[in-house]
Every structure is written in C-alpha cells, then in structure tokens.
Amino acid sequence: MNALIRHHLHSLRQSGVRFASAPFAALANMVVIGVVLALPLGMYLLVSNVQSLASSIPTEPQISVFLTPGAAKTDVAALENRLRAVEHVRSVRFVSREAALASLKRSPGMADVISTLRENPLPDAYVVTLGEGSAAAAERLESELKGVPGIAHVQVDSAWVRRIDALLSLGRSAVILLSALLSLALVAVTFNTIRLQILTQREEIEVSKLIGATDAYVRRPFFYWGGLLGASGGLCALLLVFLAQVLLNRNLSEFGNLYGVELRLQFLPVADAALFLAFAALLGWVGTYLSVSRHLSKIQPR
Amino acid sequence: MAQPIISFNNVSKRYPGGREALSNINFTVEAGEFVLLTGHSGAGKSTLLKLIPAIERASSGTILVNGQSISTLSGRGIPYLRRNLGLVFQDQKLLFDRSVFDNVILPMLVTGQSHAESTRRVRAALDKVGLLDRERANPVALSGGEQQRLCIARAIVNRPTILIADEPTASLDDEYADAIMEMFRSFNQVGVTVLIATHDRDLIAHSSPRVVHLQRGRVLDKATA
Ligand SMILES: Nc1ncnc2c1ncn2[C@@H]1O[C@H](COP(=O)(O)OP(=O)(O)O)[C@@H](O)[C@H]1O
Ligand SMILES: [Mg+2]
C-alpha cells in the first residue's frame, strides 16, 4: 500500500478517534451545523412542493370580457369574430346579462338580494377559454382588448397562477439568500472549530514538523475532520427536515381530508439529498482550508 | 577523502533584534564521526544544532548536509531533510497525551511506513534504549532518564544517518548520564554520525571523542584548525 493512501486512511481513522475522545463536543457541533442548514433546506423543500403542486393544477386561462351596456350590435359581432380568431382559443361562450342574473339567483342567499333590485345591473359578457399553459397569451389578449369599443372590462382568471409564480420566485430568491448566508455561517463554524483544534494540537503539530512531516501531512487530518463535520451536519439537517415533514404531513392530511383532497409534502429526491450532503462537506472543507491557511503557518517549531 | 557529511562555511546567525549568536563558523563533520559540541550557556550550541535541520536559518554562509545545501533549501524540501536526521531536543518535546509507543511511532507515521513495519521498528528502538517493557506507559510516568531514552528511541526509529542531541544529559545524575552517552557511542559504532551539544565538563573529561568548543558564537576547534 502506498504511503499517501495509508496516510489518508490514518487521517480518517484519527477523525474517528477524535470523535470517540469527545463525542458530545462533536455532536454539539453537528447539531449546530444541522440546525443552521435545516433552515434553507426546509424552505427549499417547501418551495419545491408548492411548485410541483402548482404545476399539477390545470391552467386553462379564462378571460371574461364584459360588454358596455347597450353596445352597438355591429361592435359586438365584430368582437365575437375577433375573439374566435385569437390564437390558442378553445372556446368562446356568450353569457347574456339575463343568463348571468339567473345563475346568480341560483347562488344560495343571493336570490333575496337580487329580488330587491329594480333592474339587472349585470352586463353581457363573453367567456373565452384558452388552451393549457397560455397564461402569457391570456395576459396579452387582456391588454389588447382594453379600450376596444363595446368592452367595459376584461378580467383574466389566470392571474392567480401568475401570483403563485411570483410567490414561488420570491421563495426561490429567499432560499438562495438564506443558503448563502447560512453557508457562510457553516464556514465560520468550521473555521473556528478547526482553529481550536489546531490550538489544542499545537504540540503534536510542532513535533510532527520537527521530525519531517510535510504541510500536507499536517493539514490532512483537519480536512477530514472539517469535511466530515460538514457532511454529518448536513445529515443532521436532512434528518431534522425529514422529521418536520413527517409531522407536517400528519396535519396536512387532516386538513386535506376536510376538502377531500390529498395534501402531502414530498421529501427530497435521493440525488438531491446526496448533492446537499456533498455541498455541506464542501463548506466544511472550505472553512477548514481558511482556518488551516491562517493558523497552521503560524506554528513554526523552535 | 570523502566529502564531509556536515560542513559549515562562514556561517553567521543573528536572531531578529538580537546580537550575533554565531559568527563566521567554519567546521566539518566526517561521516561516522562522534563530535561533542561544548561551550558555556549562551555560547551558541543550540543555535548551531538547529541550523542543521533548518529549524533556524543561517543569516549568511553556507551549510551542507549529506551534500545538500541547507541555505538554499526551500520550505518544501525541509521535511525530507529532517527525515534523514535523528533529533533529540533540549526541551525533549515529548507528547504526554499518548503512550511511549505512540510517541516513538510518530516519525514512522510521518513517512508513511506500513503498520507492521512501524510496529517492528518501534519495538526495536524501544528495545535498544531499554524501554520495551514500558511501551504502554504514559511518558509522565517515566523517570527523567527514561524520558531521555524515550527521546533517543524516537530519534533513531527512522534509522537516521546523523544523530543530533542537544544537552541530552543535562538534567540527569552521572550514573544515568553515562548510560545515555554509552548508548550514543553504541549507535556511533554501527556507523551513525553523532553530534552532541553539552556543557558538562566531567563528561568531556571522561570521553575521548573529538570536541568542538564554542565561545560566544565562535569555534575553537583544534581538530579542524
Ligand atoms: N529564539 C531566539 N531569539 C533571540 N535570541 C536567541 C534565540 N535563541 C537563542 N538566542 C540567543 O542566542 C545566543 C545563543 O543561544 P543558544 O544557541 O541557545 O546557546 P546555548 O545553547 O549554547 O546555550 C544567546 O545569546 C541567546 O540568548
Ligand atoms: Mg542550548
């Protein structure tokens, strides 16, 4: 076996020994890192769940085009032709003011209110349904139709999809921001942990250098420790988020039952979880690198 | 004649902010020699010894060890230089957080020897200094003489060609000191070059190797004059 591989194994084993010699300190470190990482991870999980929920809802945008009362017959006919010619259009349905009132009357509690009205306040309207996923086209159409003679008001019912989209992108930005901030925190935590370790092992480092240890040899165990600390903190974060998800799912399914729908948060795919662990290890490595570069060079045996 | 294993040419050392600790040192050690470096406290013995493994760097002049120039050696080359040297430090530098065995195995770990080979050589080294039965003990539990022997075991475990010891008998009773010097002599007999700093007058009187005398940073050496 080659000396380099042997030292890698030795460094790994040393991490085990170090853990065994102060398991509570090491565990406390892991938990701190775990909690720090659980925040962005949990938020990411939430955002991606809302995202997949939103994308599973059919989004055939509907546009209600309300006509001005007493609009000219020619204008109305021209408008209908125009609507039928719109790109992506599925259907164009005319809802007369009488039909609209009748349907309103059927709504519970509305009949009494409506019977007090002396005249029908509702306008005639066209309901235009566009094909799936054409929310943008719907909004284009909305702005095109505004101000066309004979039209009083245009309302796009896909607006809420837009709103969720906006909310999701806000959520994603928050996840990125939070991840960046808390990654920094993790780097700082490992930086400090490694600094303390270098201090407590000062004598061993000095002696090792005096008997011919290379810088790489001296650094290697710290890199293992920092990387493992990051990864195990990441594992702790995954565990915390998983527990939170299990608890939330219990409440969500009760809530969903009330509405007859199944609501469940999905956990991260395995590949994402692995990537997350690798990233946590990398952050630990970076913290170690910074700490080792700063503190090891100061130890020059005399 | 063979090239000297250690040679100092016009070497001076000034510590930052201090006076000159070594002034214009010229001296050589042949392979297989046994050399005592003597002088009063503050004469510069430790400084001279520390220049050889590049623990301190010379302010001027050139030093050759095993044909390699120390003055031009880069930081990366230093560990490999030290692996060929056995060093016994004035302040011992033992690690009290581990056993006797684990102190001695350190040089083997640094050079990446296999576990079996390391164990074999650590036991052999401990046997040579008479500490084999104490391998599981903590160095704290050893007497002063045993601690010094432990330092020697750590210095020889990598089979160095040069053994350098800084006042290895300073804190010991005569009886123990003689035993330690005897040990160095036995290593010298199997071909190891030995360089020992000491200010122990009695010891110098007892032994008859070459003596290099340092006085206020200058060499007074009849043998190389
Ligand atoms: N690290 C240091 N910094 C400044 N001066 C030092 C240092 N080490 C030794 N000296 C000085 O160099 C001179 C020689 O010291 P040293 O080599 O330790 O002598 P010796 O080992 O013979 O007692 C002394 O004057 C000492 O004070
Ligand atoms: Mg000294």
Instruction: Convert the pLDDT of each residue in A93-117 to its tens digit.
Output: 888 888 888 888 877 777 777 778 8
Task: State whether B136 and B37 are in the same domain.
Answer: no
pLDDT at res. A59? 64
Task: Judge whether B164 lies within some domain.
Answer: yes
Give the domain-ending residue among B142, B159, B176: B159
Tell me the residue range of the domain where A169 lies: 2-56+162-298
- How far is CA B2 from each of CA A151, B15, B223, rounded to the nearest angstrom? 110, 33, 17
Ligand lying nearest the CA atom of residue B42: 1
C-beta B16 within 6 A of ligand 1: no
Coil vs helix vs strand at A41? helix
d(CA B34, CA B194): 5
Instruction: Convert the pLDDT of each residue in B38-96 to its tens digit.
Output: 999 999 999 999 999 999 999 999 999 998 999 889 889 999 999 999 999 999 999 99
Tell me the residue range of the domain where B125 lies: 96-159
Cβ–Cβ contact A9 with B under 8 A = no
Q: Which stretches in chain A have pLDDT values below 50?
A: none
Task: State whether A139 and A216 are in the same domain.
Answer: no
d(CA B193, CA A222): 36
Interface TM-score (ipTM) > 0.90:
yes
Judged against a pLDDT cut of 60, whether residue B222 lies above it is answered with no
Task: Judge whether B90 lies within some domain.
Answer: no
d(CA A232, CA A157): 47
Task: State whether B112 and B218 are in the same domain.
Answer: no
A1, A207, A212 ranked by CB distance to B83: nearest: A212
Q: Which chain B residues touch A210 with a CB distance below 8 Å?
A: 53, 55, 82, 87, 89, 93
SS (H, E, C) chain B: CCCCCEEEEEEEEECCCCCEEEEEEEEEECCCCEEEEECCCCCCHHHHHHHCCCCCCCCEEEEEECCEECCCCCCCCHHHHHHCEEEECCCCCCCCCCCHHHHHHHHHHHCCCCHHHHHHHHHHHHHHCCCHHHCCCCHHHCCHHHHHHHHHHHHHCCCCCEEEEECCCCCCCHHHHHHHHHHHHHHHHCCCEEEEEECCHHHHHHCCCEEEEEECCEEECCCCC
Residue whose CA is at the smallest distance from ligand 1 atom 3: B15
For chain B, what is the domain count?
2
Task: State whether B40 and B138 are in the same domain.
Answer: no
Name the pTM for this structure. Answer: 0.77
Cβ–Cβ contact B76 with A under 8 A = yes
Instruction: Convert the pLDDT of each residue in B95-123 to its tens digit.
Output: 999 999 999 999 999 998 888 999 999 99
Asked if residues B196 and B204 have their Cβ atoms less than 8 Å apart, the reply is no
d(CA A11, CA B170): 37
Give the domain-ending residue among A135, A157, A179: A157
Q: Which chain A residues touch B55 with a CB distance below 8 Å?
A: 210, 301-302
For chain A, what is the domain count?
2
Give the domain-ending residue among B110, B128, B159: B159
Ligand lying nearest the CA atom of residue B16: 1
Task: State whether A166 and A28 are in the same domain.
Answer: yes
Assigned token pair, B222: 């009849």
Task: State whether B2 and B80 are in the same domain.
Answer: yes
Q: Which chain B residues touch A214 with a CB distance below 8 Å?
A: 76, 79
Task: State whether B45 and B72 are in the same domain.
Answer: yes
Q: Which atom of ligand 1 is nearest to the CA of B49?
A: 17
What integer is the mean pLDDT of B199-224?
A: 73
Task: State whether A173 and A291 are in the same domain.
Answer: yes
Give the domain-ending residue among A122, A157, A192: A157
Closest CA–CA distance from residue B75 to any residue of chain A (Å): 9
Task: State whether B48 and B106 are in the same domain.
Answer: no
Assigned token pair, B144: 């002063």
What is the pLDDT of chain B when averaged over all its residues?
Answer: 90
Give the domain-ending residue among B118, B139, B159: B159
Task: State whether B80 and B183 are in the same domain.
Answer: yes
Question: How crowded is residue B223: how many other Cβ atoms within 10 Å of its Cβ?
Answer: 12
Give the domain-ending residue among A137, A157, A177: A157
Assigned token pair, B111: 């050079």
